[in-house]
Chain A
């Protein structure tokens, strides 16, 4: 490791840290739906309405 510059080692370390963050996030929120999901049918019915259509 002493052959590798500090800047490169930091890139290594941050890559591992970022992966760990992703894994931890995923594991801690594995079963988290994230709030009640709106019923798809109601929303698509609304989305078909005039007001939402692009002008």
Chain B
């Protein structure tokens, strides 16, 4: 009976999503409809779509699992998600972006940059960066959803991944941004209900608010010696300053996401979908609440799963999940909470994943279709680039699915936070590549075409170098550093055969996020090259800035 109810709920959910995708498909008559939802999106739809695209299963399952390992220090990520990801993003970036997009009739993020800097090279390069690297983030989202999907429905991980990707592909490819945003708004509402229920049931299960934290604090002595040596001080404490865990949490997991959110192509495009600033003002309030009720709850529940697993099987969460960080939250929901909630949570996760994936696939498709083929290479078809955009989406989806299968196969049970790291790496890369010239496009008349292009390339190259040769987890799995230099990271040296982490004061270089290096390099290069190259005409700047 329970199985039947679950199937009915899931199919009802998919039916609503299908209906909204169909409405998007029918309401899409022009390229502006397909790429920008007709520029007249309702503030609720805009806010929820932004929030649901920003917050995915990566946040709930990936970062929720990280919170179960690292503890409640992740609440700082909730703060940066809300303050930077919503307030700063909407007020200081969203409003000027909407105006600039309108003035330049830009339809995508690369097009906005390309028209502001009057450069097809910038538009093409930005689109290529998105097309190459966004599948990494998309695969992280796919993986986190598929793991729970597989566990709950009783499918293999591979089958769940393929089925899930196919469902999202259909409505994104057909429905364009209208379909994506309508379904996002519905999915965001489902997410809020699901997460509130998760919080309530967790506190109820653990004997109330105060009891739950009392028990969690008492588990301090149960921190494994290996984690304690890395700076873990208990789940109700922040890791010790300057320790390996502190750098992992702050220098890798938090920094990329916190800064990178400002330059996410799939989020920036949403500022351009609304008719006026009124919608953005209203979206600030709704977006802030949405983030608190989704990621805030995920980072509260994550650490508390330790209490449940300790009481039920005598193990901390990461041990109970067999070293698989992304399994912690799904396992907790399946084992600790009522079965009916498992179905609601399944729908919540489907919503979180589908809303983010749809935005990602749409951006990947428009990057290759609109920006690269149509605008940069001038190969416009009769469908105004829509057909190429759809082909680009299909390519991006296939690449993401392949990555999702490979990453799980190679790193699935190694204790690596693949989902959280994949997400923060992409966010960090976007910060290094796009943030300096995006901020310059909105606020500065002094940034030149050459400066913007040089800064973007410098930011990407520095970040990629840092990922391949310095950041310990990534360089270790890529093996290139080991082959060339005999160590798994240049931030680690060998002394008498033993690994020693290189450091400068409290800075452990092997744990520093690529964005912390790539972004300053990109800013410096942008400013230096801009200072020595030709400025834009005053008429172009007057048109961009409206005065």
Chain A interface (Cβ < 8 Å from any Cβ of B): 1, 3-5, 7-8, 10-12, 14-16, 18-19, 21-27, 29-35, 37-38, 40, 43-44, 46-48, 51-55
Interface locus among B273-281, B354-362, B429-437? B273-281
Residues of chain B from 26 to 81 with CB closer than 8 A to chain A in the complex: 39, 71-76, 78-79
User: Do B87 and A21 touch (CB < 8 A)?
Assistant: yes
Q: Is B267 an interface residue, CB under 8 A from the partner? A: no
Is the Cβ of B375 less than 8 Å from the Cβ of A54? yes
Closest to B95 in A: A34
CB–CB B539/A54 < 8 A:
no
Choice from A22, A35, A47 contacting B82 with Cβ under 8 Å = A22
* Measured CA separation A15–B297 after assembly (Å): 11
The reply to whether A21 and B277 form a contact with Cβ atoms under 8 Å apart is no
From the candidates A11, A22, A44, A48, name the one contacting B76 in the complex (CB within 8 A): A11
Of B72, B87, B103, B105, the residue contacting A22 (CB under 8 A) is: B87
Interface residues of B in 270-304 (CB under 8 A from A): 275-278, 280-289, 291-292, 296
Give 15 CB contacts A-B under 8 Å.
Answer: A3-B236, A8-B72, A11-B76, A11-B79, A14-B76, A15-B79, A15-B296, A18-B86, A22-B82, A25-B91, A32-B281, A35-B277, A40-B39, A51-B539, A52-B104
Report whether B217 and A31 are in contact in the complex, using a CB–CB cutoff of 8 Å: no
Q: A3-B214, A26-B284, A30-B281 are in contact. Are A15 and B543 (CB under 8 A)?
A: no
Complex CA gap A4/B237 in Å reads: 7
- How far, in Å, is B118 (CB) from chain A's closest CB? 5
Cβ of B405 within 8 Å of any chain A Cβ, yes or no, is no
Task: Known A30-B281, A37-B276, A52-B115; judge A4-B236 contact (CB<8 A).
Answer: yes
Whether, in the assembled complex, B540 has its beta carbon less than 8 Å from a beta carbon of chain A, the answer is yes
Q: Which residues of B contact A30 (CB under 8 A)?
A: 278, 281-282, 285
| Contact in complex: A26, B296 (CB < 8 Å) | no
- How many whole Å from B259's CB to the nearest CB in chain A? 16
The reply to whether A4 and B296 contact each other, CB–CB distance below 8 Å, is: no
Interface of B is mostly: helix
Which of chain A's residues has its CB closest to B213's CB? A3
Are B277 and A32 within 8 A (Cβ)?
yes
B285 and A22 contact, CB distance less than 8 A: yes
Smallest distance from the beta carbon of B137 to chain A beta carbons, Å? 24
Chain A residues contacting B331 (CB-CB under 8 Å) are none
Q: Is the interface of A mostly helix, strand, loop or mixed?
A: helix
A52→B543 contact, CB < 8 A: yes
Task: Say yes or no: A11-B115 contact (C-beta < 8 A), given A22-B288, A33-B276.
Answer: no
B83 at interface (Cβ–Cβ under 8 A)? yes
Nearest opposing residue in chain B for A36, CB measure: B276
Q: B72 near A4 (CB under 8 angstroms)?
A: yes
B83 touching A18, Cβ below 8 Å: yes
**Residue contact A11 to B83, C-beta cutoff 8 Å:** no
Complex CA–CA separation, A18 to B280 (angstroms):
17
Write out the residue numbers on chain A whose beta carbons fall within 8 Å of the beta carbon of B79: 11, 14-15, 18
